[in-house]
Copies of this chain bind each other. A is one copy, B any other.
Amino acid sequence: MGLKSRMTEMGEKARAASRLIAKLPSTVKVEALNAMADGLEASKRALQRANNLDVEEARKMGLSAAMIDRLILSDKVVASMAEGIREVAAQPDPVGEVTKMWKRPNGLLIGKKRIPLGVIGIIYESRPNVTADAAALCIKSGNAVILRGGKEAIASNCAIAEVLERAASSHGLPHGVIQVVETTDRDAVLELLKLEDLIDLIIPRGGEGLIRFVAEHSRIPVIKHYKGVCHIFVDRSADFAMAAKIVMNAKTQRPGVCNALETLLVHADVAEKFLPEMAAELVDAGVEIRGCENTMRILPEARQATEEDWAAEYLDLILAVRVVKDLDEAIEHIEKWSSLHTESIITSDYANAQRFLDEVNSSTVMVNASTRFSDGQQFGLGAEIGISTTKLHSFGPMGAEDLTTTKFIVYGMGQVRG
C-alpha cells in the first residue's frame, strides 16, 4: 500500500474513532486515562528496551549529548509521563460545557456548547514524552489523535503509543483514537497535511524549520509558534530586589526554553542604579550581556548589541539589554520586536501596570512575575499541547479546552421566521 493510502486509512480510522469518543461520558475518559498512566508504569522495562534502540542509534549517528539526554526514557521520565496523564485525567472535562445561554425576544433559547474538534495531528521532534502528553490532552478533550514524532525517537514513540492504545481500548475507548505514524519517511508528513477532510487541526512542535515546513505545506489549519523573544521591562518604580530575582529566574532557571527572558528593558531614570548590580549577578551566573549605547555607558565591559540582538531568541545564557526613556518607549520596543509570546513589567506603579497589561498585545502579559510561568501547566490548564503566538482560535498556552470548539444549540417551541 502506498504512503498516500496508508495515511488516508489512518485518517479515516481516526475520523471514525473521533465520532465515538466525542459521545463518551467523562468517567470513561478519566478511567481510560488513569489506565494509560498505570500502563506506562507497568511497561516501564519494555519501553526502556525500545528506547535503548533509539539511544544506540543516536550514538551511532553522533547526536549531541544534550539531544541524547532529551531522548532517554529514564525511570524518572516514565514516572513523570504517567503523572502528567493523571493530572490531565483529574482536570474538568471541557466537552459539553455550555459557555453561554440567552433568550431571544421570540422565545428561542440559544446557547454555545463545547464539542471536540475531531481529529488532531501532532507533528513533533525528539522528546518521546510528547507522545504521552499529547495523547492524554486529545483524549481528555474527546478527540482522536495522529502522532508523528521525530525519527530519532521512533522505537520509543511506537512503544509508548502501543501501551497507551492497549490501555485505552481495554477501558472503553474506540480503536484508532491514538495512532502513530510508524514510518520515518518525510513524505508521510506531506500526505498527512493534505487530509483536510479527515484531520481538523495540525499542531507542529519543535524547531522553527519543522514549524515553517508544516505551515507551508498544510491544507489543514495549523496552530503554531515560531519562537519566544520574551521581554521584561524594569520600570522606574520597580522594587530592585524583586526585579533582580525575577530577571535571574527568567534568564537563568532554564535558558533553553521559549518562555526564558531574551531582552531586558530598563527605565532610563533607574538604569544607573539598577544595572551594575543586576549585571554583576548575571555575569556571575555566566550570562553574556549585549547592550545598547546607553547600557554600554553604564556597563562598559558589555558587548554592543546590534539590531539582530533585538530579534534574537538566544535560548542560551545571553541577554540583550536596552535602556528606554519611559513606558511608551518600552511598549514601542516590544511592539516592534516581540514574537507575541510573553512580556512582563516590574513596577510599583498602579497605572503603569494596568497600561502595560492593556497595551502590550502579546499572548501573555504579566506584572511582577517571571516569564517562565508562561506555560499551560503553570497556568493551571493541566498540561500543554503547545503555545500559540498566532491569534486565530487560541493565543498563548493551550490546554485541553483549546482542543474544542463550540456549536450553537437552539431550543424552540415551533418558532418560524417572519
Contact = CB atoms under 8 A, between A and B. Distances in A.
A393 B395 contact: no
A210 to B, nearest CB: 18
A94 B25 CA distance: 33
A129 interface: no
A11 to B, nearest CB: 16
Nearest to A220: B392
Contacts of A416: 245-246, 248-250, 253, 369-370, 372
Contact residues on A (Cβ < 8 Å of other chain), bracket: 35 or more
A369 B410 contact: yes
A377 to B, nearest CB: 11
Contact of A395 (B104, B250, B372, B405): B405
A368 B413 contact: yes
Number of copies: 2
A393 B396 contact: no
Contacts of A245: 414, 416
Nearest to A391: B405
Interface in A97-125: 102, 104, 108, 110, 113, 115, 117-118
A363 to B, nearest CB: 5
A74 interface: no
A280 interface: no
Nearest to A380: B104
B115 A361 contact: yes
Contacts of A367: 410-412
A407 B394 CA distance: 9
Contacts of A359: 23
A412 B380 contact: no
A373 interface: yes
B373 A415 contact: yes
Contacts of A393: 392-393
A110 B253 contact: no
Given A221-B390, A369-B414, A393-B393, 13 more contacts: A22-B361, A23-B359, A104-B380, A108-B369, A118-B391, A248-B416, A344-B412, A357-B409, A364-B409, A366-B411, A367-B410, A370-B417, A395-B405
In order of increasing CB-CB distance, the 4 nearest A-B pairs are A369-B412, A249-B416, A366-B410, A372-B417
